Structure 1
Amino acid sequence: MSTMPPSEEISLCNSCNKTFIHSPLVPCDNLSGHLLKVLRTNLTGTNLREASDIRAIMARIPSELARYEAELGRLDEIFEKLVAGRNALQGLLDQCVSVVDAPVRRLPTEILVEVFKFCEEPRMWSQDPISPDSWEREMKRELRRVAGGDLFAFSQVSSHWRQVVLGTSTLWSKISVDMRCWTLPIVTMRTSLAHHRMVGFLEAALARGRQGPLTIEVNGLGTCHPLLLQILAASAHRWRHARFTVDCAMLKHLSPVARNLPLLETLCISALNENPETLDKVAKYFSRAPRLRTVDFGGPVSAVAHLPLEQLRCCSYSGLGPEDLRSLLGHMGRLQNTELHVQLNFDAIRVASPLDLTPVVSSIEELDICSMEHTGHETDRVLGQMFDALTLPGMRRLHLYGDKSGMPLYWPHHEGLGLLHRSESRATLQSLTLHDVLITESELLQCLAELPLLQYLFISDHPASPALPGNPVHHLVTDSLLQKLTPQPHTPIPCLVPNLAIVDLKTIGRFTDAAFLAFAAQRSLLAGAEEPFECALLWVPGHARQLDGDTTMFLISAMQMESLIFTSREYDPNEEDSS
């Protein structure tokens, strides 16, 4: 029985011409078919010669299988080497592409530095104490932040990035420290080691900034170990902006900064557990800062008198009580061309009334008055006493705000008009904000008649509130007011506030779309083509509505012609605060 196929050679290597001899036992189709036929018919009369041939094949197959297995094993090794070589070459190609073509590698160092500046982690300062159970977790987070946080992580990507991160002083120009981790006594080796590491990280961060200007932020609670403050104070000659929200007693450790603040421009102090005598001493540390322009002070205002007030451009005070208000007016005469932001504790001041405030003439440019949470009673009397004592001949901006809960202030009309007249605001005032301030239409119109240079106006409706006496609904943005603010081009009636360029209306919608359309149309015409008129409808939550089709079509057309900038949205106090 002839069953053997012809021998074949399989070439496996083009270099050494190694071949593998194909086994002659691999069956051909005829042999396979014959064997299957025997199996199907169960033939037993197969001749002896044929049976002998089959047994010979059976005897030789195991050795041939072993030869195939050995060759497959050898080829597996070759295959693995080929795959490894292929992968190595692909890796080399990727590296070459990265070197030559990767966009990030082509970035100039200056651009890379600007990207790295975005690595700063936002800080959410808290005055809640750190419990012993959470101390280790909070300290670990603080250690990472002081060490550089994500910025330091980028320095470990490559030697080039490390050189850029550690060698660029401007990337290390802000130091933020949460000292609440230092309020616990150092009683164990573990806490002592953590504090030692913190000191090392802080000193390293300061060193990486070289002698460049610094922004310092310190948050604390209670009596803390003073070492961090002392380390920061040693770099006072580099401070440009400094913010401290710490226990009043801790501020005394800043004494080394006295007469060593050549770069300081911004100082923010929020003293907890305030002590007037201590704050008085602390303020003297900052009495000689030739470039100081901005002060934000939370504490007894009497201490601020030690600061170089004449050179300030922005002053902010929070939580003022009656004595603070008297102190404020006592040194307002020293403020020149300054923005003054004041948060009043109306309830505390009201109880202490009358205030017997000393009249003062001040050349401040802006007066912002906002309220802490108050009961809503007699705020007009408090504001009235303050207005009666003030003469502000350089005032360009007057802004009043109710408290964050929406509790309004009451406009002291007689005293307010007196302030405008004495200050000759007709020739200076350009911006008026009455944010959650209850004022009648006639009172507002009398004020606006005195302000021909006014360019910006914010006024508010106010919904009914059980906290207000009589639970009134305050309508100010009405057809009547809009009509009086609408220029009448074909009549001899003079236009009220002819320079008005921007108006924000916080409204509950007690106006018709026709009145608003006429107001927006005439104001956009009056503004002319150079600067578009800007108007915003800020709907009190629960009162928003769609404007009708004609009004909407005009607004769209005017915006396309760039004669109007218009927005309509629900009023969001958080968004307004951030802006």
Structure 2
Amino acid sequence: MSDGSDTESDAPAAPGSFSSHLVPTQRKWDDIRAILRRVGHPTGATAASLRDYIDEAPGELERYEEEMEAVREVFQRLEVERRMIEKQAEACESAFAPVRVLPPEVLLRVFWFLSPVETSKWMKNTMRTREYDYDSEDEEEQRSFRKTTNLSDLTAASQACSLWRRLITDTSVLWSTIHAALPDDDKFASRKLAHCLLRSGTRPLDFTLVDPKSGENSLIHQFMDYAKRWRHVDITLNTSHPIYTSMGTRRSMFDDLHGRLPLLETLRISSALPLEDTSGFEIAPRLTRVVFTDGPPSKLPWAQIRYVEGTRRRSDSGRSRFFAARWNRPRVEIDLRGTLAFIASCAAHTHVVLPPIQRRLSRPAGAPSGQAPQRITSPLASICIPILRGYDTPDNTQALLGDVLDLLRLPDLHTLHIHSADYTRRSTCIPLPLKAFLGFLASQHITTLILRDVLITLDELHSFLPSMPTLEGLFLQDANRADEEEARQRKIRRRRNGQSPDSEADLAEEPSLDSTPIVDHVLICDDLFRLLAATCLRLRTLLVLGFFDAQDMSDSALFEFLRARPEALGMKVKVCILHKGEYGEEKDDDARVKGVRARLEGVVREVDSVESEAGRLGVLNAGELGWCIRGMVSVSSFGS
């Protein structure tokens, strides 16, 4: 028995089991506190006991350090073992994961949504978490985890397992659709693009590039070598990018693409300067859709183009003004006719979206003083005219739209869309230039008319709707003019405070500031529906954006309009509710939407109860047609 006891006593104690006999009890702690409250040094046996404690304490503290180090080693071992077991358990669970039995076709469909160039926020957060959780003293391992944060989503997925890697690296279509909106500080941008272009093999390239760099460092140069594979291309150049490589010859960097675009179908280029001089896209057998700053180049395969759009020039920054001056290109260098001249080259099947027209363009030029300028004639059938009013006066904006209409002669036009391009403002209405509009319609056979953010009266509608017997689709709206009234009040306060006007337009408006307040414009009313019932007999689609107040529109007027439809024609109506007055004035938006829906449902039931099949109505969901839309009305359709 004694031998067994000796063996047990000789066994090393487990780490963490040590406890010194010097650990004070509560009584000993109270004794030392009492000594400290007295004046003078302790004497006798008390002094001897304290000195013995002082002498013995360092040895015990050192032993505690050794014990704590042993405990730390045990803790680290336990942590490593726990991590190993956890990882093994995850691996065992992964063996039964549903993803392991997914067909390769399904996996490839999932991989299709991963970017081959960009690193998503989710991926970055995941990598940072792994780097933190797997913190290691091994510098090589730390570098490995830091490197993963620079991988694109698709590349990171390829490192999950050998199957995924084989599928991703061998499927070139995953790498041929590139969306690269890379930050300027991405040091790996060029390397990522090179890797992506290499993996894409020989497939057609569909890419969107928001180039953060300029000059020789521009990322666009990496794509130029692969021009023969371009198919769908969207390029946003840095505002300081020098488009023209030579001032004297006006040679564009895109001229090198001439004859090298056999697969190109759609092309969009946003830049600080227009590209009207380039010939790089003149030969592109499949090109059908183009979008350029201000307007397209004059040299395009026009006979095959089906959609052409001019976007607003990004010329407000200091850099773009610098480059405009460097190539002797003033910010206002073309007249209105020059802006619209490309329309004459368009084919009948082309849909044209003009660049936003604003007062910075001069009035039409090219004719002797006092005479109308030569009109631009084109066979196209569809056109969209965006007007950028900005802070110009309503009269100037009205005259500007009139200038545009006076310049165009489109005898085969079927679809006309006029709207405000002031997307950053809540309410900016364009007054209709009636005389120019009537002259424009004189030789037209328009079937679809969209007047969005256009201020039009019932009298003006009376003047031209009877002359549009072919009209089948129509969009009309009320107008929220709270912003305009707010601006008027602001100018009044500025004048009363003795401040000078902000612009010449403000100065011209000074005498009329104290006139009648600007109120919301109401067009959607009983008289409108009676007018439509009497004039637009072929109307099949009506889109209305209005306030739908009870005092403005009655159910009976809408009922009469629907019953007036010919029996053979179906009728589709889209309705959207417009907020009236300033934001925050009305708290019952939901109630208003429900009220309008109930009214329309009542009209539908009433029309449905009539024995005649006339007036098939479907009130559908309306999309967002403006900043002031507060709700959507949806009523089930009846009939076929």
With normalisation by structure 1, the TM-score equals: 0.66
- CA offset digits 1:244-300 (Å, max 9, x no partner): 22245146444432210011112222222x2x7xx355x21111111111111114x
The answer to whether structure 1 residue 332 and structure 2 residue 343 are counterparts is: yes
Contact 2:184–2:213 at 8 Å: present in 1 too? no
- Determine the structure 2 residue equivalent to 1:448: 465
Deviation at 1:572, TM superposition (A): 4.7
Deviation at 1:228, TM superposition (A): 3.1
Match of 2:400 among 382, 385, 393: 382
The answer to whether structure 1 residue 111 and structure 2 residue 106 are counterparts is: yes
Match of 1:461 among 472, 478, 482: 478
Q: Which amino acid aligns with 1:476?
A: L
- Determine the structure 1 residue equivalent to 2:618: 564
Contact 1:240–1:266 at 8 Å: present in 2 too? yes
- Determine the structure 1 residue equivalent to 2:166: 163
Match of 1:437 among 454, 463, 472: 454
> Distance between the aligned counterparts of 1:538 and 1:451, measured in 2?
27
State the secondary structure of the residue aligned to 2:451.
strand
> Distance between the aligned counterparts of 1:448 and 1:207, measured in 2?
59
More helix by share: 1
Distance 1:506-1:315 versus aligned 2 partners, 3 A rule: same
Distance 1:232-1:514 versus aligned 2 partners, 3 A rule: closer
Q: Which amino acid aligns with 2:410?
A: L
Q: Which amino acid aligns with 2:154?
A: L
- Determine the structure 1 residue equivalent to 2:96: 97
> Distance between the aligned counterparts of 1:421 and 1:122, measured in 2?
53
State the secondary structure of the residue aligned to 2:290.
strand
State the secondary structure of the residue aligned to 1:394.
coil
Match of 1:344 among 339, 356, 371: 356
State the secondary structure of the residue aligned to 1:249.
coil
> Distance between the aligned counterparts of 1:245 and 1:314, measured in 2?
19
State the secondary structure of the residue aligned to 2:475.
strand
Deviation at 1:569, TM superposition (A): 9.3
Contact 1:502–1:534 at 8 Å: present in 2 too? yes
> Distance between the aligned counterparts of 1:307 and 1:109, measured in 2?
42
Distance 1:388-1:149 versus aligned 2 partners, 3 A rule: same
Match of 1:358 among 357, 368, 374: 374
With normalisation by structure 2, the TM-score equals: 0.60
- Determine the structure 2 residue equivalent to 1:368: 384
The answer to whether structure 1 residue 238 and structure 2 residue 238 are counterparts is: no
- CA offset digits 1:396-436 (Å, max 9, x no partner): 2111112222211121112212211223x1xxx22211111
Q: Which amino acid aligns with 2:383?
A: L
State the secondary structure of the residue aligned to 1:115.
helix
State the secondary structure of the residue aligned to 2:449.
strand
Deviation at 1:226, TM superposition (A): 4.1
Deviation at 1:439, TM superposition (A): 1.2
> Distance between the aligned counterparts of 2:231 and 2:404, measured in 1?
34
Where does 1:248-327 land on structure 2 (aligned, <5 Å)? 248-250=241-243, 252-272=252-272, 274=273, 279-281=275-277, 283-299=278-294, 301=295, 304-319=297-312, 323=334, 325-327=336-338
- CA offset digits 1:436-482 (Å, max 9, x no partner): 11111121233322333323222122234235775533221122112
Distance 1:168-1:446 versus aligned 2 partners, 3 A rule: farther
> Distance between the aligned counterparts of 1:541 and 1:410, measured in 2?
19
Contact 1:506–1:540 at 8 Å: present in 2 too? no
Residues 284-293 or 167-176, more deviating: 167-176
- CA offset digits 1:104-152 (Å, max 9, x no partner): 333332232222222249999xxxxxxxxxxxxxxxxxx999x872222
Unaligned runs of 5+ in 1: 1-58, 70-82, 125-142, 183-193, 488-494
Match of 2:599 among 551, 575, 578: 551
Residues 539-548 or 469-478, more deviating: 539-548
- Determine the structure 1 residue equivalent to 2:441: 420
- CA offset digits 1:506-539 (Å, max 9, x no partner): 2233554862454267538848799562221231
Distance 1:345-1:330 versus aligned 2 partners, 3 A rule: closer
Structure number, greater radius of gyration: 1
Q: Which amino acid aligns with 2:207?
A: I
- CA offset digits 1:357-402 (Å, max 9, x no partner): 4212211121111123242332222222221222212222111112
RMSD, matched Cα: 4.4
Distance 1:531-1:180 versus aligned 2 partners, 3 A rule: same
Contact 1:313–1:339 at 8 Å: present in 2 too? yes
Deviation at 1:354, TM superposition (A): 6.7
Contact 1:239–1:264 at 8 Å: present in 2 too? yes
Where does 1:117-132 land on structure 2 (aligned, <5 Å)? 117-120=112-115
Deviation at 1:234, TM superposition (A): 0.4
Contact 1:226–1:253 at 8 Å: present in 2 too? no
Distance 1:116-1:453 versus aligned 2 partners, 3 A rule: farther
Contact 1:455–1:501 at 8 Å: present in 2 too? yes
Contact 2:116–2:175 at 8 Å: present in 1 too? no
Give the % identical residues. 24
Unaligned runs of 5+ in 2: 12-81, 120-146, 245-251, 314-331, 368-372, 489-508, 510-514, 610-615, 631-640
- Determine the structure 2 residue equivalent to 1:174: 177
Deviation at 1:339, TM superposition (A): 1.0
Residues 409-418 or 213-222, more deviating: 213-222
